[in-house]
Every structure is written in C-alpha cells, then in structure tokens.
Structure 1
Amino acid sequence: MKQLDKEEQQLLDLLPKGIERPRPLKELVKLTGWSSRKVRATINRLIVLHHQPIGATYKQPNNGYFIITNDAERNIALAPLTSQIKQMTERANAITNATLEES
C-alpha cells in the first residue's frame, strides 16, 4: 500500500471514527475548499487504493462519511452499495436483452 499524499491525509483526518456523527459531503467541501467531485474522488482513492475502511450513510439527518470501526457499521455502509450493484445489474441485463429496431 503506497503512502497517503497530503490531500488524502487531510481528508482522512476530517472523517470521524464511527457512525455516530458522520460528516456530510457539504461539510467536507466547506472544510477542504474542494469541489464535491474532488472530495468524492479522494474518498474513492482512500478506499480503493489505500484500503481505508470509509463508509457512508445516506439517511437524513445523519448522512455523511465516517471511518468504519465494527462489523455493524460495515454492514450499514455496504447495504446501499449492494443495492446499487443489484439495480445496475438489472439495468445492464435489460439493455443487453432489449430488442433493437432495425434501421
């Protein structure tokens, strides 16, 4: 695993440990001065390249990102991802099997 760069470390330091007070994307944008796209891309790098256990919860009012600290939090973070994968797979299958008009 390669070392975190300055921006990755900055963002990681802003994430709370545990799901009790997740930090919303808007707040991370405000604190870093970055675009929401850059924040999300940096979180993705932290997870995929650096294997950081970062989860997200989307339920209002406690939506946001957090560092996963136990299996219950891991399951909460995985639920929307597995649901999204299922929906995307169904959509891809529907497109694959769609009858195309002859031109």
Structure 2
Amino acid sequence: MEHLDKEEQKIMDLLPKGMDRPRPLKELVKLTGWSSRKVRATIYRLITIHHKAIGAIYQRPGNGYFIITNDTERNIALAPLTSQIMEMTKRAQIISNTDLESED
C-alpha cells in the first residue's frame, strides 16, 4: 500500500472519526478549495487504493463523509452501495434481455 500524498492526507485530516457528525461534500469543497469532482476522486482513491474505511451518509439532514469506526457504521455505509448495485444490476439485465426492434 502506497503512502498518502498531500491531497489524500488533507482529506483524511478533514474527515471525522465516526458518523455522528459526517462532513458534507460542500464543506469539503469549501475547506480544500477543490472541485466536488476532485474531492470525490480523492475519497475514491483513499478507499480503493489505500483501503481506508470511509463511509458516507446520503440522507439529509446529516449527510456527509466519515471514517468508519465500527461494524454498525460499516453496515450503514454499505446499505446504499448495496442498494445501488442491485438497482444497476436489474437495469443492466433488463437492457440485456430486451428485444430490439429491427428496422426493415
């Protein structure tokens, strides 16, 4: 596992431990001066390359990112991801199995 670069470390320093007060994307953008795309890409790298346990809550109020500290938080962070995977799989299956109209 590689060491964190300056940007990755900056995000890690800004994320709260635990989900009690998750940090919203808008706030991370404001604190870093980066675009939302760059913040999300950095969080993606932290999770996929550095194996950091970063979760997100998507419901308002109280949405945002946080460092997962226990199994309850892990399960809460996994729920929307699992749901999204199921919905995307369903959509892909429907598209794959739909008869295409042939134009004559």
Give the residue type in structure 2 aligned to 1:36.
S
In the alignment, the residues of structure 1 paired with residue 48 and residue 77 of structure 2 have an alpha-carbon distance, to the nearest angstrom, of 15
**Sequence identity of aligned pairs in percent?**
74
Aligned CA-pair RMSD:
0.5
Runs of 4+ in 1 over 4 A off after TM superposition: none
Separation in 2, partners of 1:89, 1:61 = 29
Instruction: Structure 1 unaligned segments of length 5 or more: list them.
Output: none
- Other-structure match for 2:32: 32
1-structure distance, mates of 2:100, 2:42: 39
Q: How many correspondences in the alignment?
A: 103
Q: 2-side partners of 1:3 and 1:11: how far apart?
A: 14
Distance 1:95 1:12 in 2: 39
How far apart, in 2, do the equivalents of 1:93 and 1:61 lie?
A: 34
Task: Give 5+ residue unaligned stretches, structure 2.
Answer: none
| Alpha-carbon distance, 1:14 to partner | 0.2
For 1:10, the equivalent position in structure 2 comes to: 10
